[in-house]
């Protein structure tokens, strides 16, 4: 190990060097999650049930200095199994202390919407939202629901219950459009699959 310009290989000296601790939240989140949820967007979209699969793994590059994970999510209608949405992206963590810090999340959906979210994380939760014009889309991107207009803001939050058996989480997505203020859109309750 190198500390400054000095090579440190004495085990006693190594004990005094600060080490990057693993991110507790990612020890919980990494893996495959499955479960059900409810979506809606009143008054334009009535309630609908869905099933969700969420996959989270280390991204490349990944190291103690580049705390990056990738994710992908697929939602299907609970009864018809029709595909409703899919999205993928990256999570980048910037620790400020042992148990919390800043989080950046980039998320792209199959309809062309791309989000750049910023926020915070703790040991068992995160909360991110689009800021500073953090949404973009190609010219041919579809609108989410007829008559609603373009999405203007998105907020995503997650709460993990690591002591539950199996481990569980609640994932929420809120959305604002050109014609409606921020409101809940999706809420899912997922459980971690055993490997």
CB distance 184 to 176 below 8 Å: no
CB distance 84 to 61 below 8 Å: no
| DSSP at 54 | E
> What is this structure's pTM?
0.84
First-to-last C-alpha distance (Å) of the chain: 34
| DSSP at 165 | S
pLDDT by residue for the chain (195 residues), tens digit each? 444 454 556 565 555 545 555 688 998 999 999 999 999 988 878 899 999 999 999 999 888 888 999 999 999 999 999 999 999 999 999 999 888 999 999 999 988 889 999 999 999 999 999 977 789 988 887 766 656 778 889 999 999 999 999 999 999 999 998 888 899 999 999 999 976
pLDDT value at residue 72: 97
> For 140, phi and psi rounded to 5 degrees?
-90, 5
Cβ-based neighbour number of residue 42 at 10 Å: 10
């Amino acid at each position: 190990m190198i500390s400054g310009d000095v090579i440190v290989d004495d085990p006693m000296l190594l004990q005094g060097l600060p080490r990057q601790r693993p991110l507790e939240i990612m020890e919980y989140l990494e893996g495959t999650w499955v479960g059900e949820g409810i979506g809606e967007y009143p008054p334009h979209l009535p309630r609908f049930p869905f099933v969700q699969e969420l996959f989270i793994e280390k991204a490349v590059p990944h190291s103690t200095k580049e705390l990056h994970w990738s994710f992908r999510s697929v939602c299907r209608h609970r009864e018809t199994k029709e595909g409703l949405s899919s999205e993928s992206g990256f999570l980048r963590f910037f620790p400020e202390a042992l148990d919390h810090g800043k989080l950046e999340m980039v998320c792209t959906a199959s309809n062309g919407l791309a989000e750049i979210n910023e926020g915070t994380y703790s040991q068992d939760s995160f909360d991110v939202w689009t800021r500073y014009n953090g949404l973009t889309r190609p010219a041919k991107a579809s609108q989410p629901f007829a008559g609603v207009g373009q999405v203007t803001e998105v907020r995503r939050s997650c709460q993990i219950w690591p002591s539950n058996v199996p481990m569980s989480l609640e994932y929420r997505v809120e959305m604002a459009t050109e014609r409606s203020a921020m409101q809940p859109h999706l809420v899912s309750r997922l459980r971690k699959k055993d490997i």
